[in-house]
Amino acid sequence: MKTVVTRFKILYTQFLMKSGIPHKDMPEEYVTKTERLLCMYRHMRMIRLFDAKSLSLQRQGRAGTNASTEGEEGYAVGYASAMTDHEAVIGATHIHVPHYRQNAAMLWFDKDKEAALMRILLYWGGSELGNLAPESHPDDHPMSVPIGTQVGLAQGRAFALKVRKERRAVVCICGDGATSTGDFNAGINFAGVLKVPLVVIVTNNQYAISVPRERQSAAQTFAQKGIAAGVHCEQVDGNDVLAVHYAVYQALKRAVDESLPSVIEAITYRLGAHTTADDPTKYRDDTEVAAAREIDPLLRMRRFLDRLKIWDDEKEAVYCAWAEARIEAAVKRYEDHVLRNPLTLAQVYEHQVAVPHYTLKRERELALAYQKALVQVETKE
């Protein structure tokens, strides 16, 4: 005898078509709350400008690595804005536990936009100060480069919130690649068993560095990995900032009101390189990237705002000039900091484990040479 024990389905949400035309079932608030729409668009625009700037700084040798965010601004602004909207309702801040590609969300959370951008540059420049949380979102975690590890940490923090009866949630972000790690699966498994207020957003940007989506998993969706853990899971168009806002807001309500975890797969595309150490032309076709440019989240939102007649080229030019000035100021603050604190690099080597690694001596020499070069630059100026 065989019977069907259970059936599952994965729902997918999209509100804005790529033309910027909304589907009929889009909630009214996504048309009427125009200031929020504009704010979302401005943040997406600013981080796109910052991405280009930090790539250029890295190429000039003035900044460290850049993990590109081009094409991924939609989901990041979508979930960050859902978090702050929900925070206004509950009167407490949620906890953001990102991986390393959430510049747009970090920009959103910080009231001081220059400081947010400066910290991103400091982080990739190797300064511990880049790990600090913004004053306006004080419990956030720093970026996590070790893939998937933040999911377990986020689960633990969410469990702590539950034990302490704090009415707020943890929002953890990881990539598609991270869903293949043990940490991801252990994290969501515990989240399901312990019923913690956790929202895990899987940003499916189609690649884990050079490994394409279909080489990572035979599962039809990444969202359904949540089924195995017994947690609510769904897919959302990650290039549709409004759909992401909606899905994450609902997940936050479930987390806070019912202490139920969620896994949300946000489907998007990484238009840029994985990081500045990567050359994507080695593993993907230009035609694929050109097709992805058609579904660019920034473009889609711009088309929507144009339809509502609340934005135009003139406003865009004024805003971009303002944003570029903020970015330049952030770069100056970052460079001033690095030049004024030449010990930052050398200090790294004062905190080694008991048995020094065999490359330590060479690395320290290189750090000191770099430090000396920086001092010379400063003296010349």
Ligand X SMILES: Cc1ncc(C[n+]2csc(CCOP(=O)(O)OP(=O)(O)O)c2C)c(N)n1
Gap between the Cα atoms of 317 and 294, Å rounded: 22
274, 300, 302, 326: which is the annotated catalytic residue? 274
Gap between the Cα atoms of 145 and 161, Å rounded: 24
Residue closer to Mg ion, measured from CB, 209 or 348? 209
Q: Shortest gap between Cβ of 331 and Mg ion (angstroms)?
A: 27
Residue 150 sits in the site that holds ligand X (CB under 6 A): no
Gap between the Cα atoms of 230 and 261, Å rounded: 9
Residue closer to Mg ion, measured from CB, 177 or 280? 177
Q: What is the DSSP letter of 132?
A: P
CB atoms within 10 A of CB 119: 26
- Contacts with Mg ion in 312-331 (CB under 5 A)? none
Q: Is 101 among the catalytic positions?
A: no
Residue closer to ligand X, measured from CB, 27 or 182? 182
Pick one of 29, 33, 128, 146: the residue that binds ligand X (CB under 6 A): 146
Q: What is the DSSP letter of 223?
A: T
- Contacts with ligand X in 58-117 (CB under 6 A)? 101
Q: Specify the pairing of strand 211-212 against strand 207-208.
A: antiparallel
59, 167, 215, 283: which is the annotated catalytic residue? 283
Q: Is 283 among the catalytic positions?
A: yes
- Contacts with ligand X in 273-332 (CB under 6 A)? 274
Read off the tokens for 56. 């250029």
Residue closer to ligand X, measured from CB, 203 or 344? 203
Q: What is the DSSP letter of 283?
A: T
Pick one of 205, 221, 235, 262: the residue that binds ligand X (CB under 6 A): 205
Gap between the Cα atoms of 273 and 181, Å rounded: 22
Q: Is 215 among the catalytic positions?
A: no
Residue closer to Mg ion, measured from CB, 71 or 175? 175
Please report the DSSP string for 145-192 in residue order.
-STTHHHHHHHHHHHHHHHTT-S--EEEEEETGGGGSHHHHHHHHHHH
**For Mg ion, which stretch binds (CB under 5 A), given 3-11, 35-43, 45-53, 204-212?**
204-212
Q: Shortest gap between Cβ of 92 and Mg ion (angstroms)?
A: 31
Pick one of 175, 192, 226, 280: the residue that binds ligand X (CB under 6 A): 175
Per-position x/- string for 213-252, each x denoting binding to ligand X as judged by CB under 6 A, each - no binding: ----------------------------------------
CB atoms within 10 A of CB 13: 19
Q: Which residues of 137-166 are buried (b: 16+ CB within 10 A; e: fewer)?
A: beebbbbbeebbbbbbbbbbbbbebbeeee
Interacting residues toward ligand X by CB under 6 A: 101, 145-147, 174-178, 203, 205, 207-209, 270, 274
Interacting residues toward Mg ion by CB under 5 A: 175-177, 205, 208
